[in-house]
Chains A and B, each alone.
Chain A
Amino acid sequence: NAGVTQTPKFRILKIGQSMTLQCTQDMNHNYMYWYRQDPGMGLKLIYYSVGAGITDKGEVPNGYNVSRSTTEDFPLRLELAAPSQTSVYFCASSYSNRGSYEQYFGPGTRLTVT
């Protein structure tokens, strides 16, 4: 199993550009999440999904969109990139084990908006 994979690893965007961060998991997990991690801070939840076709906002959704057409893929779309979106983005997946949700994280995408 590859686990959770993310592409690209690094990206530099100009202000106002758009891009999609890709996330794929091969563990057949129902739950998937997007987090952003700013320096010296914990992870903030952007969006999450409980299954194909079902997504919902997390703590910091503004400026982002997601879709979940398959169990495996959970892309994150940035529209009109802003410097405040400079961050490291992590995708994670999990399953419910009697109410415990061990999250498996991808390696991250480091995004710089200038």
Chain B
Amino acid sequence: QQQVKQSPQSLIVQKGGISIINCAYENTAFDYFPWYQQFPGKGPALLIAIRPDVSEKKEGRFTISFNKSAKQFSLHIMDSQPGDSATYFCAASRSTNAGKSTFGDGTTLTVKP
């Protein structure tokens, strides 16, 4: 049973466009939702994260939208750049569970110049 479902598997966007990646979760006890960015040959790195007490969080060109009732959250990358080309993972964890995270399967983003 996959607890965090991520879509799409891959995404191609033109430079300057908006990239949108979606995740859905099942466990309502999750209360921390990070997004990680991974470049080829590197480990994932935290990009942005949200807790369910807010519906949106923005950091520069990256925004998380969170819908608690639908158990969904999404990553929006505005003005996408070729340097944003990477694999993006959503994750979910419970604050009472030692930070053990359940990850989505990842989205490979390609931004064409």
Contact = CB atoms under 8 A, between A and B. Distances in A.
B32 interface: yes
Interface centre among B31, B42, B99, B106 (most CB of A within 10 A): B99
B43 A106 contact: yes
B51 interface: yes
Given A43-B89, A45-B100, A105 B44 contact: yes
Interface string A1-23: 00010000000000000000000
Interface of A: prevailing SS: strand
B106 A40 contact: yes
A104 B46 CA distance: 8
A101 B89 contact: no
A101 B104 contact: no
**For the side of the interface on A, what is the size category?**
20 to 34
A112 to B, nearest CB: 15
B7 to A, nearest CB: 13
Given A50-B98, A107-B42, A41 B106 contact: yes
A100 B95 contact: yes
Contacts of B41: 107-108
Interface string A39-54: 0111111001010000
11 contacts: A33-B101, A41-B105, A42-B106, A48-B98, A90-B43, A100-B95, A101-B32, A101-B93, A102-B34, A107-B41, A108-B41
